[in-house]
Every structure is written in structure tokens, then in C-alpha cells.
């Protein structure tokens, strides 16, 4: 590899590293991207896989995704989760944020966890057998259907499968 190629490669790696260090994009960059629909936008800081955003009837955007537990410090400072299994930082609660504009986000906490689902009621022995630190809630989605909130998610542990709980409140 030539010296020039090495320098270019190092500059590219530096640019990628700096992009990951500085967090969410500037408001003006996000606004432009929302108008042009020509790029991916880093709209919120924090560790999240499988992001899901819905525009609800109340005019707010709601964001959820696969995340660590709300009080886990790695939620903010752990850039990459390169593995699953025992070293995974994925939690068992569905975190939720809302925004009027996809720029300013309000943390709504974790309104749902695996303990709220049907599996916890129907298979309590399985939940008792698996340490809570190994429970996982993956790929949550939030939908508003027929006047009710519907959550869809999967889980590899303590019970493997999909779940579709329906909220009793609006």
C-alpha cells in the first residue's frame, strides 16, 4: 500500500471514529435530511438496535428499539454491542421516547417489560429458572390500532418467540 493510500485510509477511519464519538447530528442537518430524504440521520444519542418510529394520532413521533435496561450506564457510553449471550447489554424492558419534530426527544421511561406479557403469567417456572440478567426483549414496535396501543416484540430468553400485548388504556 502506498503512503498516500495509507493516509487516505487513516483519514477515513478517523472520520468514522469521530462521527461515532460526537453523537446526534446538529438540528439544521436533521431538518435538511428530513426534507430531502436522501440520507440516514443520527437523531438521538444512546445505544439502540432495531429502532422503530411511529407518528401517532396525537401528533407525536414515538421511538422505541432494542436497548439496555434504563439504568444501565452502558446505555449511553457503550457504542457497540458486538455480541449476544452472556455479554449482551440488551435488557427486558421496552424504552420509549416521544418527539414533536424528530429532533427534541422526551424520555417516557420503560412502560412495558417482559413481566407485563402473557409469557410471564403462563410460564412463571421458565422465568424463575433464568436469571433476570439474561432476559431479552428484542425489536419492539409500537402501533396504534383501533384506538389502542399495540406492542409487538420478540424474545430469545427466558421464553423464545413473539408477543403482541395490547394496552388497556389510550
Give exposure, 40-50, as e/b (b: 16+ Cβ within 10 Å): ebebbebbbee
Q: Look at residue 165 in the predicted model and tell me its pLDDT.
A: 78
Residue 73, pLDDT score: 77
- Asked if 63 and 99 count as a contact pair (C-beta separation under 8 A), the reply is yes
What pLDDT does residue 19 have? 47
Check residue 80 and give its pLDDT.
58
Cβ neighbours of 126 (radius 10 Å): 14
**pLDDT, tens digit only, all 170 positions of the chain:** 666 554 444 444 444 444 445 578 888 988 888 898 888 888 888 888 899 999 999 999 999 999 888 887 777 766 655 556 667 888 999 999 999 999 999 999 999 999 998 899 999 999 999 999 899 999 999 999 999 999 999 999 999 988 887 776 55
pLDDT for the residue 24: 81
The reported pLDDT for the residue numbered 88 is: 80
Place of cell 422526551: 106
Kindly list the domain boundaries of the chain, sorted by start residue: 1-42, 44-163
Which strands make up the sheet holding 97-99, listed edge to edge? 49-55, 61-66, 97-99, 106-107
pLDDT of residue 5: 54
> How open is the CA angle 116-118-122, to the nearest 5 degrees?
120
Classify 140 as helix, strand or coil: strand
Amino acid at each position: 500500500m502506498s503512503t498516500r493510500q495509507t493516509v487516505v485510509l487513516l483519514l477515513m477511519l478517523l472520520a468514522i471514529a469521530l462521527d461515532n464519538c460526537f453523537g446526534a447530528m446538529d438540528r439544521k442537518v436533521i431538518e435538511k435530511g428530513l426534507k430531502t430524504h436522501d440520507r440516514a440521520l443520527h437523531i438521538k444519542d444512546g445505544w439502540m438496535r432495531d429502532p422503530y418510529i411511529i407518528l401517532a394520532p396525537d401528533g407525536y413521533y414515538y421511538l422505541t428499539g432494542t436497548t439496555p435496561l434504563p439504568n444501565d450506564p452502558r446505555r449511553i457510553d457503550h457504542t457497540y454491542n458486538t455480541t449476544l449471550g452472556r455479554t449482551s447489554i440488551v435488557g427486558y424492558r421496552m424504552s420509549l421516547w416521544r418527539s414533536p419534530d424528530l429532533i427534541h426527544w422526551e424520555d417516557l421511561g420503560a412502560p412495558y417489560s417482559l413481566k407485563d406479557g402473557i409469557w410471564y403469567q403462563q410460564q412463571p417456572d421458565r422465568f424463575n429458572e433464568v436469571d433476570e440478567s439474561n432476559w431479552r426483549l428484542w425489536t419492539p414496535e409500537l402501533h396504534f390500532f383501533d384506538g389502542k396501543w399495540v406492542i409487538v416484540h420478540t424474545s430469545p430468553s427466558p421464553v423464545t418467540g413473539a408477543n403482541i400485548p395490547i394496552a388497556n388504556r389510550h
